[in-house]
Amino acid sequence: MRFSQIYTFAVFIVLASLDNAAAGVMPPLYALISREFDANETALGMVTAVYVLIAAISAAYWGYKGDHNNRKRILFGGTLLWVSAMTLTGFAESFWQFVLGQVITAVGIGSIASVGFSVVSDMIPVHRRGFALSLWSISQSLGAALGAILASTIGAFNWRYSFWIIALAGLVCAVLYLFTQEPERGKNEPELAPLFAAGQSYAYRIKRADIHKIFSNKSNRWLILQTTLLTLAFGSTTWVPRWAVAQVEALGFDLEISTAVGNVFVILFSVGILMAIPAGYLGDKWQKRNPKGRTWLAMIALLGAVPFFILLFFMPIKGIVLPDQGNFWEMSAQLGVNLLLNGWILSLFIVAFLAMALFSSEAPNWAALITDVNLPEHRGTTIGITRIFRAVGNAISIGLTGFVFTMLSTNFSPPMNFSIGLAFFQLLVIPAGVCYYFASKTVPADIDTVKQTLTTRAQSIIQAK
């Protein structure tokens, strides 16, 4: 890759991380924000659910516009929109002002998910898609971790600053994005190589009638159903930071200390997401040998993660030793010592690592499959459509999980109500994993259809000239 391509890819990776940082900063701060605005935590959970839904609907809109028009202008405008709204959120003086700021933020954030994905898919050669999209996937998880870090450090003592810092980072990225080089649509498709070698370009753009073609694609239908079921299960994990905070509170620490310590644990327990990189690479290799390779790898990884997540939520946090009157960094250092010397914490870390390693192996291969079975001019719209289905699953899961926690609290005090609720929702991962079995029967044929279509189009354009 040339320097301009590396620079462009790096900017998109950072933008993708900020997308999730903006969404992930609020859940760890539920308790503090609810206290300031005199709103219960279930209401804040619903705000997050609405945020996810609006971001997804806007992603479908931005994705269609990006597949039809200049992607650079669309993504730049969307970034400026969410940066402005994120800044205003930090100035909210009432609960409803806070909600309005988050709604506008969600509208802008949607552009990154779909338009950014479309650009990245055109930037990476077919045989490296899994690996490249693993970096895309990890950047989103790291962005959520960044949001949690800000919530745990600065946000634990003043939640507004964490929103402003993310907005500032987004503004910097918007400026850097002005100097990126947008790849030509379809540039890295092998079937279009003769077209570009002849000095021609791929001029096909999405039309409204193509929406039907996207849904008539059998692999798309299975992948959409899979991601919907998966988000019904993992939307509940938005509450994992609250579970961790409740675990620490149960040991006798106050809310501020528990918020900081609990979210540090969540960050430490998320290290397994780095395994998405070798999983993406393995998916590339397996897919090259067998057109069903990615589907089988994703299915094995998802189903394998279920027992580890359920076990994790019922494992207690015990024996934490913190310095008296210590600041955040001193507490973090002491938690690192606990990780090495406290058997309870070490066991939690190992189980969490295995759960996250398996779970994260699915995401880059799912994204690569979406790219493989769709035409270049359909990819932004397709990923936007999947975002809507994911958002519906997330919204239902986040809202329902908060309700389940409240109902369970009548018989189980925190953190046990959180543990039972989170474990229950993991059972939905099983049908999500099974969807890959059915997708494995349709993916090879749909990939061949895309290749044949591109080959025919390239020959027609060259002959017409």
How confident is the model over 370-394, as pLDDT tens digits? 999 999 889 889 998 998 898 888 7
- Phi first, then psi: give them for residue 181, nearest 5 degrees: -110, 115
Please give the Cα distance from 88 to 97 (Å, whole number). Answer: 9
| pTM given for the model | 0.81
Structure tokens at 412: 């189980």
Average pLDDT over residues 36-47: 73
Please give the Cα distance from 356 to 115 (Å, whole number). Answer: 27
pLDDT for 50: 81
Please give the Cα distance from 334 to 139 (Å, whole number). Answer: 27
State the burial class of residue 38 (Cβ atoms within 10 Å of its Cβ: 0-12, 13-18, 19+). Answer: exposed
pLDDT for 295: 95
User: Is residue 160 scored above 70 in pLDDT?
Assistant: yes
User: Is residue 421 scored above 60 in pLDDT?
Assistant: yes
What are the CA-CA distances from residue 136 to residues 65, 112, 141, 291, 448 (Å)? Answer: 22, 11, 9, 22, 25
User: Is residue 298 scored above 90 in pLDDT?
Assistant: yes
- Residue 213 in contact with residue 58, Cβ under 8 Å? no
Q: Which residue has the tokens 């998802």?
A: 302
Average pLDDT over residues 357-381: 91
pLDDT for 11: 83
User: Is residue 297 scored above 80 in pLDDT?
Assistant: yes
User: Is residue 302 scored above 70 in pLDDT?
Assistant: yes
pLDDT digits (tens, 9 = 90+) for 236-250: 777 787 777 877 777
Please give the Cα distance from 17 to 13 (Å, whole number). Answer: 6
**Helix locations, 361-442, DSSP H:** 362-372, 379-408, 416-425, 429-439
pLDDT band at 222 (very low <50, low <70, confident <90, very high): very high
pLDDT for 445: 95
**Residue type for position 371:** T
Q: Which of 152, 118, 371 is nearest to 259 (CA)?
A: 152
If one compares 36 and 59, the residue with the highest pLDDT of the two is: 59
**Which of 65-69, 256-260, 265-269, 350-354 has the highest mean predicted lDDT (pLDDT)?**
350-354
pLDDT for 311: 92
Q: Which of 4, 327, 312, 37 is nearest to 183 (CA)?
A: 4
- Residue 401 in contact with residue 198, Cβ under 8 Å? no
What are the CA-CA distances from residue 127 to residues 35, 114, 121, 370 (Å)? Answer: 51, 22, 12, 14
- Residue 227 in contact with residue 366, Cβ under 8 Å? yes
For the chain, give every domain's residue range: 3-189+208-464
CA angle 416, 419, 421 (to 5 degrees): 110
Cα dihedral angle (106, 110, 111, 112), rounded to 10 degrees? 100
User: Is residue 145 scored above 80 in pLDDT?
Assistant: no
What number of helices (H) and strands (E) belong to the chain?
22, 0
pLDDT for 328: 59
pLDDT for 41: 66
pLDDT for 431: 94
pLDDT digits (tens, 9 = 90+) for 89-118: 888 888 888 888 888 988 888 888 788 788
pLDDT digits (tens, 9 = 90+) for 407-419: 888 888 777 888 8
pLDDT digits (tens, 9 = 90+) for 440-462: 999 999 999 999 999 998 888 88
Please give the Cα distance from 364 to 274 (Å, whole number). Answer: 12
Distance between the two ends of the chain, CA-based, in angstroms?
30
User: Is residue 326 scored above 60 in pLDDT?
Assistant: no
* CATH code for the domain defined by 3-189+208-464: 1.20.1250.20
DSSP assignment of 250-305: TTT--HHHHHHHHHHHHHHTTGGGGGHHHHHHHHHHHHHH-TTHHHHHHHHHHHHH
Q: Which residue has the tokens 């474990």?
A: 423
Residues in the chain: 465
Lowest mean per-residue pLDDT among 168-172, 325-329, 441-445: 325-329
Task: Supply the mean pLDDT for the chain.
Answer: 83
Please give the Cα distance from 271 to 281 (Å, whole number). Answer: 18
pLDDT for 216: 93
Q: Which residue has the tokens 């675990």?
A: 247
DSSP assignment of 393-409: HHHHHHHHHHHHHHHHT
Chain-centroid distance, C-alpha 417: 26
Helix/strand/coil for 273 = helix
Average pLDDT over residues 163-185: 84
User: Is residue 182 scored above 80 in pLDDT?
Assistant: no
pLDDT for 322: 67
If one compares 340 and 122, the residue with the highest pLDDT of the two is: 122
